[in-house]
Amino acid sequence: MLDILEKQSKGYVILDPYGGMMESISSDSIPFPHRKGNLFTIQYLVEWKETDNDKANDYIAWIRGFHGSMTPYVAQDPRAAYVNYMDVDLGVMNWNKTVVKSNDDVVETGREWGEKYFGNNYDRLVKAKTEIDPFNVFRHQQSIPPMSLEYKNSNGSKLSE
């Protein structure tokens, strides 16, 4: 990690410590599952001034390469992420309507990042979203999607209980 960081003066990491009391809370008791066995989370960052915008693609390529090079040393299956450090490289939803009317492909699309952020809590959060915000009023590129209303009404919940 240090060798890679030395190659790019605009890049840095922040290590947020985990463990301690966090390990005493079960991973499925609240949406944030990253508990037992995690020493810390890593924030990978690269920043530059507006005058360097012509180098933006180089900086972004560097940080993606750095992130990729850490794969052997971090959590796997899935490689986890912290939802408050939104990472659009995990995938995004292009919402163009509020009501989900098609099949439940949106739930599976959201799973791409949802399980990285929420682990095994993703299905439970989809159910909650469907009950609380079925019209998907509160949404962003990586929000948890509701099940489609037609699917829910005709089939009930397809997600595991």
Residue 85 falls in the annotated catalytic set? yes
Interaxial angle between packed helices 122-132 and 105-118, expressed in degrees from 0 to 180 and rounded to the nearest 10: 120
The per-type count for the chain, helices as H runs and strands as E runs, is 5, 2
Token representation of residue 141: 């590129």
DSSP one-letter code for 136:
-
Catalytic residue among 18, 44, 82, 85: 85
Q: Is 16 helix (H, G, I), strand (E, B) or coil?
A: strand
Please identify every residue annotated as catalytic.
85
